[in-house]
Structure formats: C-alpha cells, structure tokens
Chains A and B, each alone.
Chain A
Amino acid sequence: MIDDIKRIGADGPARIAAATSVEELRAVEADLLGKKGELTALKKGMGGLDPEGRKVAGAALNDARESLEAAFASRRSELEAAERATTVAAERLDLTELVDLPERGSLHLVTQTWDRLVDVFIGMGFTVAEGPEVETDWYNFEALNIPAAHPARGMWDTLYVDLGDPETVLLRTHTSPVQIRVMTDGEPPIYAVMPGRVYRRDTADASHMPVFHQIEGLVVDRNISFADLAGTLEAFTSAYFGGSIHSRLRPSYFPFTEPSAEYDINCVFCEGNGCRTCGQTGWLELGGCGMVHPTVLTNVGLDPEEWSGFAFGFGLDRLALMRHGVDDIREMYTGDVRFLEQFPS
C-alpha cells in the first residue's frame, strides 16, 4: 500500500502539469483526490492494516494528499491566469473609437459670468438680492434722485409698458431699483450685490442689446466712506480679474451717488501697456460708482447723518464677451447651439 501511495505521490505532479485547462485539471483532481479517486480508494483499504501499519500508511496518505493539493492549487492559479489573459486580450478596446458620445449641455455665458461674480462677492461677505424687471417710476427713477423732467433722465432710454398712468410703469433701465427695495425692505448694515436683467430702448448691434445684464453692489453701514468704496472695488478687481489687474476711480456724475466716479480697471488684454481694445490708454471703463446720495438715503427713511454707503454697478455681458473673445453680443441671444456648445464651462 505504501508503494501505491508513493507511486501516486510521485506520478501525480506530472499528471497535474500535463493538464492544459482548468477543466482538464478538474478531471485529474477527481481521479486522484475525488470521492472515487485513487487516494480515496487506498484510504478505504487501510481498514485491513494493523494499528502500526495503519499509522504509517495514514501519515503517508496525508503527506501525499497535502503535496498533491498544493500542486493542484498552484497549477490551477497558473491555468486561470492564462485563461484570463486570453480573455482580456480578446476584449481589447480602442478607446478613441467613440460612437454615440453622451450629450453635454452648457450654461449660458451670462450665467457663467453671473455665478463667477456672485461667488467673488459672497467671499467678500455680500448677500445676493434680486427684484422685479418691470418697475414703477418711483423705484427706477424718483427714489434714486431722478425726478420727472430731470435732465439726467435722458441718460437712460426707457421702455415703458401700458400699465397705470402713462410713463409710470417701465422695464427697469438698471439694477439700481433693487437697491431701493433692499434698503426699504431691510435695515442696515447692508452688504449686498444685485445681479439682474435690464432693458433699454436700443437697437441691437454688435455691442448693444435692448436687453442685457448688470450687477450692482450696495453697502450701507455706519462710517462708510469713499475709501471703503475704493478698497472694495480694488479687492473685487484683483479677485475677479487676477492680482495684476488694478482699479482706478475718476470723477463722474450720477444722480443717485455723490461723490460719483467712473470705475476703470487695467486693460485685461495688455495689462495696462496699451492696445487696440483699450484704445492705447491701458484702461478699460467698467462701470459707475459713488457714495449713496443723501437724498436717496432720505427717500428710503435712513438718516444720512447716521448712515452712509456706497454703490457700484457694471455691465455683465461685456465681461462674458471679453473672457471668451466674442465680438458680437447678439450671438449670445439667438439660442444657436453652435454658439452655446462652445462654452461648456
């Protein structure tokens, strides 16, 4: 019996090695170690041995079984690896062979710019306020220190709607009426930005649309000064346009602010060296700003001796066009997918 065990132990590895697939190996395993296998048969024959012989034969059987099992495991993993390699090789894909790309949408350039601007101001501690696009004369003009027949009304070409008395309800010409709403509905301290859509009686051309977008900022608190305005705009400028772009303020006139200023930034194309876009000046005019006019504060019930504030505003569309080199504002509003899909983010 010991001889038989030894023979199986010695021949087994060759038979295991000869198996060329996991399936063949499984058959060999059944022959040798299975319920009806050779070793199992020998084990059953041990009953006829004396205790000493049984002990010796049992040990030999165990040795043979263990070494065969190890050989099977090792061969199995070899064969499995080979079979996986074959399968994997057959599964090769050319990853540039793309059919049926998933559709990708896009945010409108105005939205992208809007979100970027708003995010910068949120980082500076501003909340974001909005208001209606159709406004009364009071919010759009009167409360902002632009009474009827004020020559400054000529600064805005206003579209009126057929509601109420003639020329009393209008499409807001700027986002400034939201300032009035914020001050009327809330209380200082106010640190808010007001992005929104505005309207002018203007014929569309490459740089004008009757409908466009602005963002406006308003701060009202105790002891707010022109220096705070200058510092806020400078902080915004470098945060939004990059650290190498700075701001400057020049005297200007708006009925709702005093002192008033034009807000310029270093030309973002030439960084201030002078180029075609900035007309060789090195500066780009971005918008207007100033200290909230005392009459405006009084109009919303705030005491100008106690509270002071500043406001600023600028166009949003031009920033969107500038960032991507779009030379005609009308392109943004046709809904042409060939335009929209160019700006996935």
Chain B
Amino acid sequence: MKVLLSWLQEFAPFPSDDPVALGDVMSDLGMAVESIERIGEGLDGIVTVKVLELRKHPDADKIQLVDVDLGDGEALQICCGATNLTVGDIVPLATLGTTMPDGMEIARRKMRGEWSNGMLCSGRELALGEDHSGIYILDPSLALGTPIVEALGITPDVLFDLEINPNRPDAMSVAGVARDLAARLGLPFAIPSPTVDELAGDASSIASVDIIDPDLCGLFHVRVIEGINVEPSPRWIADRLTALGMRPINNVVDASNYVMLELGQPNHTYDLSKVPGGALRVRWARDGETITTLDGIERSLTGGRDGVITDATDAPVGIAGVMGGASTEISETTTSVLLECAWWQPMAIARSSKFMGLRSEASARFERGVDPAIAELAARRLAELLAPSGARLVQGSVTVHGDLPVTPAVRVRTNRVNQLLGTAIATDEIVSLLTPIGFVCEEAGESDVFSVTVPTFRPDTTTETDVIEEIARHFGYSRIVGRAPTSAHTGSLTPIQRDRRIIRQILVGLGIHEAMPLPFLAPGDLARCGLPPEAVTVTNPLAAEESILRTSLRPGLLRAIAYNESHRTDSAALFEIGKAFGVPSAGTTLPDEREHLAVALAGADAFAVARIWAVLAETLGLDGIAIDQSAPPAGLHPGRSGVLLSGGVPVGEIGEIDPGVLDALVIRERVAWLQLDLGAALAAPHGEHRYHHISRYPSSDLDLAFEVSDSVAAATIAAAIREAAGPLLVDLSLFDVFRGHPVPDSHRSLAYRLRLQATDRTLTEEDLSGIQRTVVDAAASVGAVLRG
C-alpha cells in the first residue's frame, strides 16, 4: 500500500518536516515502510528542451544522437537509448551537474566515441511513475528552458510504500493509515464529510437490488449519478493515482479507484443504460456460466464458489468482489451511472480470486474485510469527486442487507494484558491507547475488566488476545522491557544428535567433505542409479527434475561426483546426512522417512570405504554390524559390495558403485560407496567403550598364516580366532594378504598377528603353544589351513 503525505494530511495534521521520522512511526505500528520517495525533489537542473534533429550513432545500433535546443537556438548533442522521439518534441533534459532523484550525477561523457551533454529522462527517471519505456514527452506549448518542476506543476510530496499485514484491512486505505498514525502521534483525526449537491429524484425508483444469497453479500448499497461526461480526470486526481501505482483512465473510473484507495471501499460503476430496468441481483454462480470481464477475457464460473451480480434477465454482469463485466462498462457515451458499494463475504472472495487466478485491488480488500459502515460515505465521496465534470448524485439510494458478521463486545482484563505482555499498564492508559483507533471501551462491572466494542473497520479483532495485540502495538513494542526467562531444563543434545556430530567429525577428519544435494529427483534418476523406481511423487513440482522424493542418497551424491569430475575435480570425497523417503508402509499416510548417512569416494576402491566404515563402527561402538557379500545390493559392484547387517537386519550397504551405473551417469573414476540407515544402525545400545585393565606383565605375539578359500570371508576367520584365543587376546591384526604360488588358485594366504597377554602373570611357552593349538583348530573348523 502506497500513501502520499499530502493525502494523509487531509485526515490529520501530520508534520511535513521529517518524513523519515514519520515513516519510523508507521514501521513501529506494524506498517513497515519499504521505501520513502520524495516527489519533486532532486529535479533541479532538469529543464524543457526541443528535439531539433535525430541522427544515427555511427558506432552503436541502440543509441541515437539527439540534437536539442535549450531555448538559445544552439544545438546540443545528447546520446539517447529511447526510440519514441520525433523532431519537434518537447522533452525533459537533465543538464550537466544535475543529481537525479536516484542519486546519479549527470556529467559530460562519451558514449562509443560521441559526446553526450546531458540525459533525456523517462517518467521513472523523474520519479514520476514506473514508465521507463521511453522519454517523457511534454506539452508542446511549453517554453524552452523551463524548470521541469514548473513545467509539470509538480507539488513536492512524499510517497511512502508500506507493507500491510493481512490482519490490517483498515490500513488498506489512506484514511486508515492516517487514523493509526494520528492515534500514535496524538493528532486529531477525521474523515471529512463529502459536500454533495443532490439532484431531485429518487434512486429507488430507478434502481433495484435483490440479494438472493445472503451468505454471499452482506450489504449492497446503490446510488445513481446523472450528468456523466466521460473525460480525462483533473490533473491532481490523475497524479495521485499514478503515484499510488494506478493508471488514470477517465474521470469515472479514476474517481472509483480514488475512493477505493482513499477509503478502502472498492466499488463498481455500471453504465445505467446497459442495465435493463436498473435491476441487479446477487447470487452464487452456477456451473457452466460464463462472463466476459472488463479485461476482455471470457471466464467460466464455478457453482457455489464464485459469486455473481446479474441483471434482471439473470445474465451475469460482474464477478462479485473480483471484477466487473464488459457488457455494462462505462464508455464515452455513458451519461448515467449506477454505483455499487458492497460488502462481500471475505472467504468467498478469497476462494473465488484464488481459484480463478484473478487478483484485483478490489478482491485484495474484500478478502481482508471491508468496512460495511463506509459504503454510504464512499458513494457520496465519489459523487463529490465527479461533480466538477457536471455529474450529480440523484437523491435517495437502495441499500439491501444480507448476512453481516455480528461483532460482540470483547471482555478484556487488565491483568491478562499485563501478564501476556510482561508490562504494568494501568486500565486508564489501556483505554487511552484504544480509544483513538476507534475501539470503544466501557466498564464491565468488575474492577480492571472492561468491555471493548471493536469498530467495523477492524473485523480481524474478535478476541481478547486480538485486543491485547492492539494495545501492545500502540503502547510500542520497543517500550516492553525484555527479560529472559530461566529455562526449566538443562540444555542438551539427544543421543542421535550427539552421534551425528561424532560421525561428521570423523568423516571430516578422514578428509571427506559434507555435501547437501537437494532431495528432489527427476523421473529415471533412481533407475539410472540401479535403484527400484517406486517413490513418493510431488503433486505440483515446478520442474520435472524436482518431481520425485529420493528414496536413497545415492542419486544426489553421484550427481555431485559427476559435477565435480566435469569441473576437473577428480577423486571428490563427499558425505551427506539426510532424509530418504520410502513409500508409506501399509496403513500409514506419511512416507517411510529415514535419516541416512552416505559416503561417496571417487577414485577409491571398496577397501577405502570399508576402512572408513571400520573407523566409524569402532568409534561409535557399533560392533554388531557385519558385512554380508552373499547378495550384493542393486546398483553396486557385484563382486565388491555387501549389505550391512545388524542382527540379521539390513541397515546399509557398502562397496563400489556398479560400473554400469557409472557409465550411465558418465562418471569416469571408480566410486566407493557407503550408505547407512542411521536410525536403524544406532537404535541398539552402542558406544559404551568399557575400560579394559592394562596389564603390567609382558605381552607375546603369535604370527599365524592360513591358507583360506576365497569363498570364506576374512571376518569369519578373525571371529574364529578371537573366540578361540579367549580373554588373553588383547589385539588381533591382519598384517598380510597374499595370492599366488604356492597358494592354490581361488585361495589366499591371510597372516594374522595375535598379541597375547595376561593381567596376572607372564605367559609361559606352554600357555602360548596351548593357545596356538586351540586357534589353529578353530581356524581349521571354518576352512583355514595353517601354512607350514
């Protein structure tokens, strides 16, 4: 919502000297000032000139050379990018040394080798509107060299652009902003009563209204205006509309818009001659009905959703609260106008405008709630604005009521106000804060409890808390003294939140970067990564690439690997912790949402990621998770991958990405891969790390090499050794793996070093040879033959 200072001043005596301070007050009231523009300032140095000649720039297609005359008969060369000039036009020139409203300084400069001795200005450059399509063409009768402010008759003013919250329908008008501001500044506020010279007659014999559906329309007020001469608006009206962002059209349409901006009452003017019998009806639309709206578009209506105004023949002549119809539009031949000021059910207008994709200044106001009490005054104000063109309001009116919301008085407790705000505001002060914004406070028979009658322009305010917000707003948020409450708890992370930090620290320490690819996938992404295509889809994606929710972190990280490779970063090492979304399990609505950890190492083999997994598992104390290579996961290298099993239940996958998948994704290097379902993996108790007593007695090492078939996992041998060696084994390491002669084909030699130690004595040769026998027997039982 934009407001002009001069317009605000028609309602209350606001000072002109410090617009910034005034803007700060508006912001503090919740009408945030997005910008302040000083109209007519910064235009010194801009004068009228006449276009003498237009010439082609020898070295640029988009610039032409314009010779202009400042009144001294001399040709002055200007370079100009606009193409709307003709010889003889009077246009504004910013002369050398001028500082433009946006702060730019005009200096003599060369543009592609040609001198430019100033700048010809568009409307936007003059801060006179948004038009930047060409140079602002002036009245041809103007004397050359006239300052632009004088030539245009610009009155200095200040334009505030305000952000209005949805709960402030009152602030969608100049008068409403003025009321709020005047209340805070303690200035008297009044909406002037329009002075209208009414024409004898009776509107109710000319027009009639029938509200068929009272749940759609709360109020329909009609007046008749005769003696219409459709012509351009007076300059001051056109200027104000332009400043507030509306395009002037003709005096009738402009007066209609002016009243909406000023008083917040959207209204509609019908050409009375095009409304048979002056009769209007209001009802819900029926399916299949159509109407051509003022913008010339034929629109089909939906029954029960859209409201319509029809004529006596039941033909729609307007979409309720959204836009009027073309059939009754004001034209040059219009002499009589039927004026509608209505109150529409806000939710109906919101629905209608949303689903029709048609938002108008009118619908924006109706859906927030218009003041039903302003209709009558708004109609007279419109007639007052049109009076100079000869238009006269016919005596009498038609006012029909439907369902208007009733607003019961709100019971407000001073105690509650202060409890919720943390203040100590006395009842008297509360009353003095509410009264100037139209809230009527009366005693309610109990001490420090009072009854508040909310004005009709504040339909948003219906509860005690709503009123407390108004009190806080006018008391001033900045006057509420902060105090931090003492928490009833000790702040802490949950176990999973702590584990996540540990995992991230380990992976970063191992040289891996954390990435966060988007969780959206394109159709086919899962299949390309060798994953099942079943996934949750997005109903209304902006692009196909964002239409599927990932079921795995694999596609996202592999895309990042490919991105890095294509930007000459080979061997990228990435990890991610994020959600994967499985299709809902039976009987549930929400996806099977799980937090996964994934690691992708380009240019590394499965051993690299297995080593990382070993470090992670040991640090987190996840000793119960095994790698099972018997059925490699889909999309992973069949010979170099396995499933991570926790108590027989899959909780992840480890290995390398299948070379076929890498080809499909155009990734050149090998990619080692780990994915873990964190919730499942960390569900079991873990990470306890009990203290083991460190023995004072010497330890002994036993080196044993076994010949083992490739079909037996090294982990199986290690487990057998561990169990057989018992508590005396303090460390077991695999220190050599060897394939080739003399080890038979499909076998390898695995060499283990066992460090043995007792806590109460030095181990003897007999102890060691006993353990060796037991270990060798145990290894043999799982297929490991001791090498001689």
A contact residues vs B (CB 8 Å cutoff) = 102-108, 110-111, 115, 118, 121-128, 130, 132-136, 149, 151-152, 154-155, 159-164, 166-169, 171, 189, 191, 197, 201-203, 209-211, 219, 221, 223-235, 248-253, 258-262, 291, 293-294, 308, 332-338, 340-341
Contact = CB atoms under 8 A, between A and B. Distances in A.
Nearest to A167: B539
Given A103-B511, A251-B29, A340-B513, A136 B540 contact: no
Contacts of B421: 225-227, 259
16 contacts: A106-B514, A115-B501, A132-B579, A151-B350, A164-B589, A225-B421, A227-B481, A230-B480, A234-B482, A248-B478, A249-B478, A251-B473, A253-B166, A261-B477, A308-B420, A335-B563
A106 B513 contact: yes
A105 B465 contact: no
Contact of B482 (A108, A211, A230): A230
A134 B581 contact: yes
A171 B593 CA distance: 12
Interface in B5-52: 27-30, 32
A118 B567 CA distance: 35
B24 to A, nearest CB: 10
A26 B573 CA distance: 57
A121 B491 contact: yes
B485 A251 contact: no
Given A126-B487, A308-B420, A335-B557, 15 more contacts: A105-B510, A125-B491, A162-B536, A163-B584, A191-B491, A201-B540, A219-B485, A228-B484, A230-B482, A231-B482, A234-B484, A308-B419, A332-B516, A335-B561, A340-B514
B540 A159 contact: yes
B536 A134 contact: yes
Nearest to B549: A161
Contacts of B533: none
B567 A336 contact: yes
B480 A162 contact: no
The 6 closest A-B pairs by CB, nearest first: A227-B422, A125-B487, A103-B511, A335-B560, A251-B30, A225-B422
Nearest to B564: A337
B518 A210 contact: yes
Contacts of A294: 463, 465
Contact of B538 (A132, A159, A223, A293): A159
Contact of B590 (A152, A163, A235): A163
B472 interface: yes
Contacts of A209: 518
Given A105-B511, A136-B589, A225-B421, A258 B492 contact: no
Contacts of A308: 419-420
Contacts of A259: 420-421, 465, 468-469, 472-473, 477
A162 to B, nearest CB: 5
B524 interface: no
A155 B167 CA distance: 13
A118 B560 contact: no
A226 B539 contact: no
B3 interface: no
A164 B539 CA distance: 11
Question: For B32, B487, B591, which residue has the most chain A Cβ atoms within 10 angstroms?
Answer: B487
A162 B539 contact: yes
B517 A335 contact: yes
B594 to A, nearest CB: 10
A135 B590 contact: yes
Contact of A260 (B469, B482, B509, B579): B469
Interface string B462-505: 01011011001100011011111111111111100100010010
B484 A161 contact: no
Contacts of B491: 121-127, 191
Nearest to A131: B593
A221 B488 contact: yes
A124 to B, nearest CB: 6
Contacts of A230: 422, 477, 480-483
A187 B589 CA distance: 26
Contacts of A262: 32
A301 B168 CA distance: 29
B511 A226 contact: no
Chain A, interface SS category = mixed
B477 A249 contact: yes
B593 A132 contact: yes
Contact of A223 (B166, B419, B482, B508): B419
Given A191-B488, A235-B484, A226 B420 contact: yes
B750 to A, nearest CB: 29
Contacts of B564: 335-337
Contacts of B331: none
B540 to A, nearest CB: 6
Contacts of B486: 125
Contact of A108 (B485, B514, B567): B514
B772 to A, nearest CB: 39
A231 B492 contact: no
Nearest to B569: A337
Contacts of B367: 151
Given A161-B538, A259-B469, A294-B463, A334 B573 contact: no
Given A102-B511, A134-B590, A154-B354, A231 B483 contact: yes
Contacts of B501: 115
Interface string B407-419: 0000000000001
Contacts of A167: 539
A154 B113 CA distance: 52
Contacts of A151: 166, 346, 350, 367-368
B754 to A, nearest CB: 31
Nearest to B568: A338
Nearest to B577: A111
Given A105-B514, A226-B422, A124 B497 contact: no
Given A149-B351, A160-B540, A163-B590, A110 B487 contact: no
B360 to A, nearest CB: 15
A133 B536 CA distance: 13
A232 B491 CA distance: 15
Contact of B420 (A123, A132, A134, A291): A291
B53 interface: no
Contacts of A258: 465-466, 468-469
A177 to B, nearest CB: 11
A10 to B, nearest CB: 48
B538 A127 contact: no
B250 to A, nearest CB: 32
A105 B539 contact: no
Contacts of B28: 250-251
Contacts of B145: none
Interface string B699-742: 00000000000000000000000000000000000000000000
Contacts of A203: 542
A229 B486 CA distance: 12
A125 B514 contact: no
Contacts of A211: 518-520
A69 B468 CA distance: 99
Contacts of B542: 201-203, 210
B494 A128 contact: yes
Nearest to B483: A231
Question: For B367, B556, B581, which residue has the most chain A Cβ atoms within 10 angstroms?
Answer: B581
Contacts of A225: 419-423
B347 interface: yes
